[in-house]
Structure 1
């Protein structure tokens, strides 16, 4: 496994674990931030730009599919890229509609669990390398 993969797996894993804890323990703050970001076209564009930038950085620096850790890191990069493009170029309010469609408020504990499992897998995969 390359040093880039190890670094990104640890970084993404740690971030996902902290994000999951934040979603779970600071539920109202998380829902308030998501509501505010998804209701303002400027913030919506900013989120799209950040996603696109992160996705491109991962794709350009790490487009490897050899093992499960490499594939997961690369897949997250491609997801970030496509979600960034969609957030930037879909009509205003698309992010809000996506959040409503996902029933984020009702399923927040499930999303926090998925984030923590993904984060743990990535972090452990990076540390074990």
Structure 2
């Protein structure tokens, strides 16, 4: 069992790495932060395909939140004003807007500052991919 939540991100993506480093310095979420490439995904209960697709927040109990909800959970854990922002991202209609913005940014992260061709993500969610 985990002692605290874990934020899992794509360590090969310059944009993701820059975003996470900013969050560590400024937001200071209360969690372990690890690139999926170095995480024990089996222990976390996360498929590699999902970790490649979106940022993940894994609770000590093993619940996994992805994408905008993972960001919201990280903000909630930080306390101060960040927790208000995180809480708002968990509730409709902000949750829906956050999901859309997250998907837009994720789909274009290779075009974002610090991004490169290696930052591109698969086109469809892992559960939508055909066998």
TM-score (norm 1): 0.32
TM-score (norm 2): 0.31
Higher RCO by CA contacts (8 Å cutoff, separation 6 or greater):
1
Answer 1 or 2: which has greater strand percent. 2
Answer 1 or 2: which has greater helix percent. 1
Larger Rg: 1
